[in-house]
């Protein structure tokens, strides 16, 4: 889809409609695997025992939905709107699926 580089939009800080810059928000904070050391420490504290992984430790689920890589060809948008007046940024509340975003 085509998206304008700037858009007139409501700014909650200015409480008014202002010109805002549109860009794609960076997806950060990808979750890493829990290190072996922290699992060992949990065992010493008496945690992480029993059946299953208790949502955190030990065994991993047999089939993860994240294993199905490339199942979908579209991705959800996450637009970041930066107000040109107060320079505050807000993020799109509800993303939608699209194959490609083009800023024009």
Check residue 14 for interaction with Zn ion (CB under 5 A): yes
65 by DSSP, 3-state: which? helix
Check residue 11 for interaction with Zn ion (CB under 5 A): yes
User: Rounded distance, CA 3 to CA 77, Å?
Assistant: 11
Cα–chain-centroid distance for residue 81? 16
**Shortest gap between Cβ of 20 and Zn ion (angstroms)?**
8
- Which residue among 13, 41, 54, 56 contacts Zn ion (CB under 5 A)? 13
**Shortest gap between Cβ of 18 and Zn ion (angstroms)?**
5
Are 81 and 9 spatial neighbours (Cβ–Cβ below 8 Å)? Answer: yes
**Closest residue to Zn ion in the complex (CB):** 83
User: Rounded distance, CA 100 to CA 10, Å?
Assistant: 25
Task: Show Cβ contacts of residue 97 under 8 Å, excluding neighbours closer than 6 positions.
Answer: 72, 74, 75, 76, 77
Per-residue interface string for the shown chain with Zn ion, residues 68-97, x marking contact by CB under 5 A: ---------------x-xx-----------
**Shortest gap between Cβ of 9 and Zn ion (angstroms)?**
10
Question: Which residues of this chain interact with Zn ion, rule CB under 5 A?
Answer: 11, 13-14, 83, 85-86
């Amino acid at each position: 889809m085509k998206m304008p580089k700037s858009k007139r939009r409501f700014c909650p800080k200015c409480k008014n409609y202002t010109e805002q810059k549109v860009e794609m928000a960076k997806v950060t904070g990808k979750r890493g695997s829990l290190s072996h050391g922290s699992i060992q420490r949990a065992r010493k504290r008496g945690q992480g025992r029993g059946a299953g992984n208790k949502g955190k430790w030990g065994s991993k689920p047999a089939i993860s939905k994240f294993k199905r890589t490339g199942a979908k060809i579209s991705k959800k948008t996450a637009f970041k709107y930066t107000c040109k007046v107060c320079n505050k940024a807000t993020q799109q509340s509800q993303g939608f699926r699209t194959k490609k975003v083009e800023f024009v």
